[in-house]
Structure 1
Amino acid sequence: MADSAFSVQYLKDLVNSQIHDEDKWAFNVKLLRAVGIFAGSIVLMRNYGDLMTI
């Protein structure tokens, strides 16, 4: 393979930099928690939204 702009080593370095830096990790945890709550609320409303009507 030729010299690609997106390599596996670049991806590994990016993940390691996001995990091992405490400030970035704290932000990523908050972001993951917010996305998880948002996705969970969508699933909840799609499955049980009709039961929540008056």
Structure 2
Amino acid sequence: MANSVISLEKLKFWKWQPQSEEQWAMNMKLLRATGLFAGSILLMRNFGDLMAV
């Protein structure tokens, strides 16, 4: 069995990250942009031939 070592710094970062309003707003913007990007890729892969002129 491998020893799993969890860094204390990672735990501190995770505990602080959701509680900060500025970081939460930035994370939501980043998540929204990533979702829009991924959605547009899926849309073009599935229906791109219908959009061609």
Q: Which category of TM-score, normalised to the shorter sequence, fits these structures?
A: 0.7 to 0.9
2: CA distance, partners of 1:51 / 1:12: 48
Map 1:1-54 → 2, pairs under 5 A? 1=3, 4=5, 6-7=6-7, 9-54=8-53
Identity %: 49
Deviant stretches of 4+, over 6 Å = none
Q: Deviations for 1:1-54, whole angstroms, at most 9, x for unmatched residues?
A: 48x4x53x5444322221110011110000000000000000000000000011
2: CA distance, partners of 1:40 / 1:12: 31
2: CA distance, partners of 1:45 / 1:52: 8
1: CA distance, partners of 2:19 / 2:38: 26
Q: Structure 2: state its 5+ residue gaps.
A: none
* Higher relative contact order (Cα pairs below 8 Å, separated by 6+ residues): 1
Q: How many residues align?
A: 50
